[in-house]
Amino acid sequence: VAIEQNPNIEGVLIILNTVGGDVEAGLAISEMLSTLSKPTVSMVLGGGHSIGVPIAVSCDYSFIAETATMTIHPVRLTGLVIGVPQTFEYLDKMQERVVNFVIRHSNIS
């Protein structure tokens, strides 16, 4: 909101070097960036792995350094999993959200 309301901010530059992180938080950041009315640019330096991919492609323009890498993998959990059918359904829906976001915002087919 502060970015949208501040007339001194002309755009947003996101510099990424990440191994990934929380899927829910990453998708929230990606969705927020993709809806900004001001220009957005992402630059991947080093790594843009896992949930870093949706963040990178959420911007109006995405650049990846020649030496950078990006990895997409299935959503997974660590630790003890209780309720296997429910957990599988949750992971399946989460994976679908990530894939659909990347497809919509990356201009690849």
How far apart, in whole angstroms, are the C-alpha atoms of residue 16 and residue 42?
7
Residue 58 is a catalytic residue: no
- CB count in 10 Å sphere of residue 54: 27
How far apart, in whole angstroms, are the C-alpha atoms of residue 3 and residue 10?
9
User: Rg of the chain's alpha carbons, rounded to an integer?
Assistant: 15
Residue 109 is a catalytic residue: no
Q: Of 42, 50, 58, 62, which residue is the catalytic one?
A: 50
How far apart, in whole angstroms, are the C-alpha atoms of residue 84 and residue 99?
22
Segment (H or E) for 16 = strand 12-18
Indicate which residues carry an active-site annotation.
Answer: 50, 73
